[in-house]
Structure 1
Amino acid sequence: MRDIAQLLLLDRDAIAALLSTELALTAVRDAFTLHCQREGRVFPVVREKLADGVFGIKSGDVAARDLLGFKAAGFWPGNRQYGGEPHQATVMLFDPATGRPVCLLDGNAITTARTAAAGELGAQLLARAESTRLTVFGTGVQARAQVAAALRALPALMSVRYVSRDGKPHARFEAALAEVLCNAPGLPELSGVRCISHAPDADSAVADSDVIITATPGGGALFTMEAVQPGTHITAVGADTRGKRELPDGLLARSRVVADDRAQAQALGEMQWAEDVACLELGDVLTGGAFTRAADDVTVFDMTGLALQDLVLGEYLYGAAVAQELGNSVAWPW
Structure 2
Amino acid sequence: MPNDATLLLVDKNVVEQLLVPDDVIAAVREAFKLHGRQAGRVFPVVREKLTTGGVFGIKSGDVSSQNLLGFKAAGFWPSNRSIGGEAHQATVLLFDPATGRPLCVIDGNAITTARTAAAGALGLSLLARQDTAVATVFGTGIQAKAQLGLALRTLPLLKNVYYVSLDREPQADFESLFAGQCILRCATNADEAVAQSDLIITATTGGGPLFDEAALRDGTHLNCVGADTRGKRELAAGVLDRARIVVDDLEQARELGELQWAPHAPAIEMGDLVTGRSRWRREPADISVFDMTGLALQDLTVARLIHHRATELGLGVTASWPW
- TM-score, normalised to structure 1, is 0.94
Aligned partner of 1:278 among 242, 247, 266: 266
How far off is 1:323 after superposition?
1.3
1:326 corresponds to: 315
Report the equivalent of 1:25.
25
Q: Distance in 2 between matches of 1:52 and 1:2?
A: 42
- What is the aligned partner in structure 2 of residue 14 from structure 1? 14
Write the mapping of 1:240-251 to structure 2, written as runs, cut at 5 A: 240-251=228-239
Provide the residue aligned with 2:196 in structure 1: 208
Who is 2:47 aligned against? 47
Letter in 2 for 1:35: H
> How far apart, in 1, do the equivalents of 2:253 and 2:77 lie?
22
2:211 corresponds in structure 1 to 223
2: CA distance, partners of 1:66 / 1:327 = 22
CA contact (8 A) 2:37 2:275 kept: no
Cα deviation, 1:94-115, whole Å, max 9, x if unaligned, reads 0011110000000011001000
What CA distance in whole angstroms lies between the structure 2 residues aligned with 1:39 and 1:251? 33
How many pairs were matched up? 321
- Stretches of structure 1 that go unaligned for 5 or more consecutive residues are 182-189
- Segments of 5+ residues of structure 2 without an aligned counterpart are none
Aligned residue for 1:313? Answer: 302
In 1, the alpha carbon distance for the partners of 2:69 and 2:259 equals 28
* 1:269 corresponds to: 257
- Corresponding residue SS for 1:23: helix
Deviation digits for residues 211-241 of structure 1, max 9, x if unmatched? 0000000000001110000000000000000
Partner of 1:74: 75
3-state SS, counterpart of residue 123 of structure 2: helix
Whichever residue aligns with residue 55 of structure 1, its letter is F
Residue 146 of structure 1 is matched in structure 2 by 147
Question: How many Å separate the matches in 1 of 2:229 and 2:62?
Answer: 22
Could you tell me whether the CA contact under 8 Å between 2:132 and 2:155 is conserved in 1? Answer: yes
> Which amino acid is the alignment partner of residue 164 of structure 1?
S
Q: 1:290 aligns with which of 276, 279, 284?
A: 279
Give 1:178 shift. Answer: 2.0
The letter for the 1-side match of 2:10 is L
- With structure 2 as the length reference, what TM-score do the two structures score? 0.97
Distance (Å, rounded) in 2 between the aligned partners of 1:221 and 1:13: 35
Between the aligned residues of both structures, percent identity stands at 58
Q: Which residue of 1 aligns with 2:242?
A: 254
Q: Secondary structure at the match of 2:137?
A: strand
The answer to whether structure 1 residue 301 and structure 2 residue 290 are counterparts is: yes
Q: Distance in 2 between matches of 1:252 and 1:67?
A: 35
Taking the aligned partners of 1:178 and 1:82, their CA distance within structure 2 comes to: 30
Cα RMSD, aligned residues only: 1.0
How many Å separate the matches in 1 of 2:222 and 2:166?
18
Distance in 1 between residues matched to 2:318 and 2:10, nearest whole Å:
9
Structure 1 runs, 4 residues or longer, greater than 3 Å off: none
Corresponding residue number in structure 2 for 1:234: 222
Match of 1:184 in 2: none
